[in-house]
Structure 1
């Protein structure tokens, strides 16, 4: 594999360990279900979705030199993901994520992404050493950036010449990490993909719906935002244009982990294909609905 990637996916690539039960669950519940392990992490989920749309993504991440890391790289390559540029650590283990999902959605989750955080800017070396760009000739294609990076590294990316020409597509890893994206709000090339709660955290207020949230983020200086709200209407806000909204298709929800990443990837591909705002939003919502209904294989 020696061709330039179509897109870079920067952030968490790890093993997802997910327990799913077909029942409504409360804290402390002990119910029968299924436990699966599959490649995951925001960057990995986006990359896998992009391959289904025919693109060749490369991942920039940290993976340990342990058996779990070797297996994870093999799984990524089987999906058609370019792993030439990732950073492998001799002393950091491969990261993991564990979640419990019930019929009522995500019950609880723990993200062990400490190795990615510890690796810091080592994962960005290919963007500076000539393999994917240099400070004077930076990468000028799309970049999917995930909020599992540290606040310091995200702030560095926001002002770095390595990303001055990039089409940045930014997603928080979770509401608890949404505030880390604040430095990227003002980046002129950034599109933020957040849910209603994450938009509220970034703006320091509660919003009644996705349209209000998109308007709030634009007022904070964002150039382009996509705000989702579960089964309620999602919104696209673009600087200098009216906020548009659209309700997602109604489906039976069978899983939730990775739905936001699927939405983001599908929207990026739709815009890359030249679709307008309305059509791109509709395409992304349809892809996410198929995913949560189980129509798209993990």
Structure 2
């Protein structure tokens, strides 16, 4: 099996230009917020640029640019930002049949001036936005093998409640499920409530992703015990990302598969975790191991997915905002295992 080669970036697609999918055994449905990242143009933050973002949108965009068939489930505003989101989704060939529309405004995330580490820190404006009007449940999951849910749009408020309903419907329909915690404390309730909401969603999943930062904020120093418990209770896979130290895929049988790619040019880390998740799922999709097969993910597919995910995330860190690379299948990946 050949992985996606980051050394070969496909040319930018033109609006309306279809991009061939890498596999046809079932696509990925992504549920999560679309919000505008207001990113300072200089250290003094005198001017801000509105970049398209949000964990759900970023992940769907990455999947599409990695060649995976992907659908996006969210509510977009009729405002100017909402129109920009729709245009970008259409340009990248993302299936929009699960989208809803609203007159409420697009939510915003104001990014604090970036430090030397490029890490993004956010101040959210979410009240009375499209997050209050989640999309309806799909009438069917035709053509969908996997449901991925991410961040506060899948966890709290009306959007979070709809996410839980969607997860239960997808589980009943036989889809595989993944959930990316992607913790953003300013957008979340108190610690006891967020723990309850997270656990409620984790129990429905085959694959859970969290960062070291997520883990320490929610579970403290004992997060490894929590990961072990999730696996013992039926989760098949846990993705643990560790910033510039790479990431590990922890399997129920105890094996860890490492993924690492150096960041050659750091611009910012906005959307890097979403790009990692999108790259991982795209690689597994290409291997034909979404759906029931995800629970017994092959060694080859696991190693390849970690390699692809790490390289996609590293490339994204070299771009302003979440602008994941467009990839083509070329050379075999270098597989790394510990």
Question: Normalising by the residue count of structure 2, what TM-score does the alignment of the two structures yield?
Answer: 0.69
- Residue 143 of structure 1 aligns with which residue? 147
Q: CA deviation at 1:34?
A: 7.2
- Residue 308 of structure 2 aligns with which residue? 283
Taking structure 1 as reference, are residues 249 and 41 closer, same or farther at Cα in structure 2, changes over 3 Å only?
Answer: same
1:97 aligned onto 2:115 = no
- Residue 191 of structure 1 aligns with which residue? 207
- Residue 239 of structure 1 aligns with which residue? 252
Counterparts of 1:20 and 1:220, CA distance in 2: 46
Structure 1, unmatched stretches of 5+, are 22-29, 134-138
Q: CA deviation at 1:140?
A: 4.9
**Alignment RMSD (CA, Å):** 3.1
Taking structure 1 as reference, are residues 294 and 162 closer, same or farther at Cα in structure 2, changes over 3 Å only?
Answer: closer
Matches within 5 A, 1:214-293: 214-215=227-228, 217-219=230-232, 221-274=234-287, 275-293=300-318
Q: CA deviation at 1:285?
A: 0.8
1:217-242 CA-to-partner distances (Å, cap 9, x unmatched) read 42565321100111124111122242
Counterparts of 2:133 and 2:234, CA distance in 1: 30
1:59-103 CA-to-partner distances (Å, cap 9, x unmatched) read 11112223332232123212222223211123x212222213232
Q: CA deviation at 1:20?
A: 5.3
Say which of 15, 19, 29 aligns to 1:8: 29
Counterparts of 2:44 and 2:247, CA distance in 1: 33
Structure 2, unmatched stretches of 5+, are 1-15, 17-23, 189-193, 288-299, 325-338
Aligned length: 273
- Partner of 1:281, secondary structure, is helix
Matches within 5 A, 1:1-298: 6-19=27-40, 21=42, 31=44, 35-90=48-103, 92-100=104-112, 101-106=114-119, 108-114=121-127, 115-120=129-134, 123-125=135-137, 127=138, 129-130=139-140, 132=141, 140-147=144-151, 148-149=153-154, 150=156, 151-158=160-167, 160-164=168-172, 165-176=174-185, 177=188, 179=195, 180-187=197-204, 189-201=205-217, 204-206=219-221, 214-215=227-228, 217-219=230-232, 221-274=234-287, 275-294=300-319, 297=323
1:198-231 CA-to-partner distances (Å, cap 9, x unmatched) read 23455x33158xx777446425653211001111
Deviates more, 1:42-51 or 1:96-105: 96-105
Counterparts of 1:259 and 1:64, CA distance in 2: 25
Taking structure 1 as reference, are residues 247 and 52 closer, same or farther at Cα in structure 2, changes over 3 Å only?
Answer: closer
- Residue 333 of structure 2 aligns with which residue? none
